[in-house]
Structure 1
């Protein structure tokens, strides 16, 4: 356990036991919180890390983020001529250019405690929340949201109007993961701790969430909560258990995701239907 982790864990215990709050925290406590935020922004600590084949949350990191909300008071800040009220200012982007990253004006918002890697492009308007990790060479396009603690890999393309959900609580739950070299088409939604495997290409307007099945045609199985690596994925609709109903003709359908091998050409409509029904 690092010194920072130990200090955050101790603060968390005190906070949970009502031994400290925003009114009683002092210089030492705030120095710990500032060091924690700096470590997040530098990429030295992360809200989740890959252990073997699976991603696991670093609970103490999530605790540190929650402490920054619980032990600070709301203040008034100025940014780009706009007054806003929060417990933290926005991230200092003055060093982005030194590492080859761009954030375009009029609406690119990165909250303090978010990591933006080298050679990134942040198009406006876009928003990256505290605890998020955006890897090197990644594009965050216009109208994108990267939620709290989301882990975005290197060389990822988030198409315009993409939503990456945040998972801050409960602290033991892993956040949304988008691994290296993934391309998400415009309008995609990734929520509730879903893991998008490396090198995958996801079609526009695809919803990836643990409640929607992924029909993996490579391994010929139905899985939940993840898209395996090296897949091409797109949305289809499969028959619902509701089936026929007096209120509508032709049965009911529910969304699903179909995943094929990257090297396989996109299946024709009739082939996709046959694959889903087999």
Structure 2
């Protein structure tokens, strides 16, 4: 792994080939997978779990209770909360915080806000500046405040047409168990 001389990486659970860049701070106890990229000024709290090949762009703060799957992109200045109704005068325990889960392959756009207690499905796409206040199904593309569903995305990163077919050749179908989509060959 690589830790920039101006970074503070206090965790001993950092995967191979992960890079932690200048002014990033990874607290002890944080788990960061292999081949991750933790960019400048990112903050990773002690009970955060990041999968493999996760990109955490500049100025992203990851707080306790967040679990991120593999191959996830967290855009610059994305915000993740962990307390649904914070008060400075009320000290809460770890049990009072709401967990947030970001599933494999999801993309969180720049300046998006993810309110705690939600799950963002596999390969979902959260547009820049979006405010997510409820679960997002697999493959869904959501934008706005609050987030609204405007389409579907392929794992390759392209928006799907009305037939759920992608230019990459992958065809998708509805997944009744998740309310999202799944590749037909999956």
Give the TM-score, by structure 1 length: 0.47
Matches within 5 A, 1:119-158: 119-158=35-74
Aligned to 1:112: 28
2:10 is equivalent to residue 91 of structure 1: yes
Structure 1 moving runs of 4+ over 4 Å? 167-170
Cα contact 2:72–2:106 (8 A) shared by 1: yes
Aligned to 2:112: 188
Aligned to 2:138: 229
Q: Distance in 2 between matches of 1:170 and 1:188?
A: 24
Aligned to 1:261: 152
Give per-residue Cα distances to partners, 1:81-115, cap 9 Å, x unaligned. 9xxxxxxx96246x74x71100012x110111110
2:10 is equivalent to residue 101 of structure 1: no
The alpha-carbon deviation at position 181 of structure 1 amounts to: 0.2
Cα contact 1:146–1:166 (8 A) shared by 2: no
Could you tell me which runs of 5 or more consecutive residues in structure 2 were left unpaired when the two chains were aligned.
84-91, 154-159, 163-186
RMSD: 2.5
Q: Distance in 1 between matches of 2:82 and 2:44?
A: 10
Aligned to 2:99: 175
Q: Distance in 2 between matches of 1:104 and 1:137?
A: 15
Aligned to 1:164: 80
**Larger radius of gyration, structure 1 or 2?**
1
Bigger proportion of residues as helix:
1
Could you tell me which runs of 5 or more consecutive residues in structure 1 were left unpaired when the two chains were aligned.
1-79, 82-88, 210-224, 236-254, 266-278
Give the TM-score, by structure 2 length: 0.69
Q: How many residues align?
A: 143
2:125 is equivalent to residue 201 of structure 1: yes
